[in-house]
Amino acid sequence: MNAPLVRGWCPGARRPMRSGDGLILRLRVTGGRLASETARAIADVASRYGNGELDLGRRGGLQLRGIRDSDFAAVETELAALGLLDEDVGAEAVRNVAASPLSDLDETAEGDAFALAKELEAAIVADNFLRALPGKFGFSVDDGGRFGLTEVPADVRLRFVRDGVAVSLDGDGRAIRVQPEEAVAVALRLAGAFLDLVSRIDPPPRRMAALVAQTGAEAIFAAAGLVPESLAPVRGSGSAQMIGAFSTHVGVGLTFGRLIADQLLILADIASSDLRLTPFRAVLLPGVPADALPRLAEAGFVTRPSDPLLAVTACPGAPACGSASVETRELARRLAMLKPHAQGTWLHVSGCEKSCASSAPHAVTLVGRDGGLDLVLDGRPTDPARLTGFSPEAAEALLRSGMIEI
Ligand code: SF4
């Protein structure tokens, strides 16, 4: 069995990342669909070999935290037995596909996102040229229904529309409209065009939006031999729209995307067939009735779409992450109560500029630096700070004072 490979910021199950609390292993679950018995087995692995904490990532990946180096080989063996390991590190690294979670049950869906995501994953892994894609390069498959993925990070987007699938580039408003059976080939041509163009640029852009900004989308479509058409803009989804009881499912939110192994066991117990992991810090249980909600609330899940904790985000911060010099999540929990009726995410607390938890702009962003916090208004952690060097207490007092509009 391999020794742990620890590098970069995109961990996998075969390529873990070291953090302040041990190794992080990220499972890429196809379409986010996890059979309840597999969920039970993952919870068991997380408890026996890790610190029992899991994170649901921005693309729906499930991370096991706090795995000891000495247990890495045993964890790999168990994950392989569950069918959760890719053949090699290269295949795992490129298999970055997020999909709408309920296209089989949602009557507003225009197509089967799960089947298309599965086909896309197989095609990406089989294409050796695409192994050169940067680690964070990813795809999304949107079913065109109410659980859209416009807010989920993706470089090449596939979206079912009434008469086919629209394939588009991050950072551009146009698309190639094709029949579903042609969509994977078009997506791969666009990814190939990305690699072709960035190989001629020094330093090469690492994401599609950066390449679009540099060369224009026309150049990328032309390199792929494709001619795009304009598309009507679509609105994104969000965790609040899937939390609570619906005719198709019960949905629960995870505060900061964090899941404890015992909570995963409870989800597996309540599930009628499988769990749907979403890129929205939410897990959906298809076919489960509303009377499961009290037990889920008691287990610590967010069960009300209006819960203020859904309107804040924070990375693990210190001490879990070695790059953080400040605590993040308790601060974000306290600050969440300042806006009890917030619509959408207004606050992001990031332990450092890397902004693992969110790359979107927010009304208020607090960024850890050298043990203090910088304040960014209406921007991202990398944007210029309005004020710098706050203690957490001072930052909290400032926001509570009302001197800054939040
Ligand atoms: S953003 Fe947070 S989790 Fe990511 S590296 Fe920085 S401190 Fe760590």
Q: How confident is the model at residue 77 (pLDDT cuts 50, 70, 90)?
A: very high
Query: CA nearest 348: which of 362, 337, 336, 335?
Result: 362
Quote the ligand 1 centre to 296 CA distance (angstroms): 29
- Ligand 1: nearest atom to the Cα of 357: 1
Same fold, 1-84+243-302 and 309-401: no
Q: Which of 65, 354, 373 to mutate to test the pocket of ligand 1 (most atoms within 8 A of CB)?
A: 354
pLDDT value at residue 149: 92
Residue 7 has pLDDT above 60, yes or no: no
Q: Is the pLDDT of residue 60 over 50?
A: yes
Question: What are 378-402's pLDDT values in tens digits?
Answer: 999 999 999 999 999 999 999 999 8
Which pLDDT does position 237 carry in this prediction? 62
CA of 367 to the centre of ligand 1 (A): 10
Bridge-based pairing of strands 244-245 and 229-230 is: unpaired
SS (H, E, C) the chain: CCCCCCCCCCCCCCCCEEECCEEEEEECCHHHEEEHHHHHHHHHHHHHHCCCEEEECCCCCEEEEEECHHHHHHHHHHHHHCCCCCCCHHHHHHCCEEECCCCCCCCCCCCCHHHHHHHHHHHHHHCHHHHHCCCCCCEEEECCCCCCCCCCCCCEEEEEECCEEEEEECCCCEEEEECHHHHHHHHHHHHHHHHHHHCCCCCCCCCHHHHHHHHCHHHHHHHCCCCCEECCCCCCCCHHHHCEECCCEEEEECHHHEEEHHHHHHHHHHCCCEEEECCCCEEEEECCCHHHHHHHHHCCCECCCCCHHHHEEECCCCCCCCCCCCCCHHHHHHHHCCCCCCCCCCEEEECCCCCCCCCCCEEEEEEEECCEEEEEEEECCCCCCCEEEECHHHHHHHHHHCCCCC
Cα of 74 vs centre of ligand 1, distance in Å, is: 27
- Judged against a pLDDT cut of 50, whether residue 92 lies above it is answered with yes
CB 61 within 8 A of CB 259: no
User: Looking at domain 309-401, which of 3.40.50.720, 3.30.413.10, 2.40.110.10, 2.70.180.20 is its CATH number?
Assistant: 3.30.413.10
Q: Domain map of the chain by residue range?
A: 1-84+243-302, 110-143+152-230, 309-401
- Angle of the 180-198 helix axis to the 113-126 helix axis, nearest 10: 40
**Statement: residue 14 has pLDDT above 70:** yes
pLDDT at residue 247 in the model = 94
* pLDDT tens, position by position, 105-124: 999 999 999 999 999 999 99
Minimum CA distance residue for ligand 1 atom 6: 352
Q: Whose CA is nearest to atom 4 of ligand 1?
A: 356
Q: Which CATH number fits domain 1-84+243-302: 3.40.190.10, 3.90.480.10, 3.20.20.140, 3.40.50.300?
A: 3.90.480.10
The pLDDT of residue 404 is above 60: yes
Strand-strand pairing, 249-253 and 244-245: antiparallel
In a mutational test of the pocket of ligand 1, which residue from 55, 323, 326, 367 has the highest number of ligand atoms less than 8 Å from its CB?
323
The band of 252, judged by pLDDT with boundaries at 50, 70 and 90, is very high
> Which ligand 1 atom is the nearest neighbour of the CA of 322?
8
315 lines ligand 1 (CB under 6 A): yes
Average pLDDT rounded to a whole number, residues 216-230: 96
Ligand 1 pocket, mutate which of 352, 369, 370, 376 (most atoms under 8 A from CB): 352
Burial 294-327 (b: 16+ CB within 10 A, else e): eebeebbbbbebebbbbbbbbbbbbebbebbbbb
Contact criterion met (CB below 8 Å) for 282 and 274: no
List, for residues 212-221, the tens digit of each pLDDT value.
999 999 999 9
Give the contacts of 347 (CB within 8 A, at least 6 positions apart).
311, 312, 313, 332, 335, 336, 339, 362, 363, 364, 365, 366, 406
Specify the ligand 1 atom closest to the Cα of 355: 1
* pLDDT at residue 235 is higher than 80: no
Work out the pLDDT band at 322, boundaries 50, 70, 90: confident
Please give the distance, rounded to the nearest whole angstrom, from the Cα atom of residue 323 to the centre of ligand 1. 6
At 290-300, the pLDDT tens digits run: 999 999 999 99
Distance in Å, CA 216 to ligand 1 centroid: 31
Pocket flag, ligand 1, residue 30 (CB < 6 Å): no
Q: Is 11 in the pocket of ligand 1 (CB under 6 A)?
A: no
Task: Give percent of the chain with pLDDT exceeding 90.
Answer: 85
Q: Is 350 in the pocket of ligand 1 (CB under 6 A)?
A: yes
Residue nearest to atom 2 of ligand 1 (CA): 351
Measured from the CB, is residue 316 less than 6 Å from ligand 1?
yes
Which pLDDT band holds residue 198 (cuts at 50, 70, 90)?
Answer: very high
Q: Tens digits of per-residue pLDDT, 346-387?
A: 999 999 998 888 888 999 999 999 999 999 999 999 999 999
Atom of ligand 1 nearest to the CA of 321: 8
Round the average pLDDT of the chain to a whole number and report it: 93
Mean pLDDT in residue range 330-340: 95
Instruction: Identify the band that residue 169 occupies on the pLDDT scale cut at 50, 70 and 90.
Output: very high
Ligand 1 pocket test, pick from 321, 348, 362 with the greatest ligand atom count within 8 Å of Cβ, gives 321
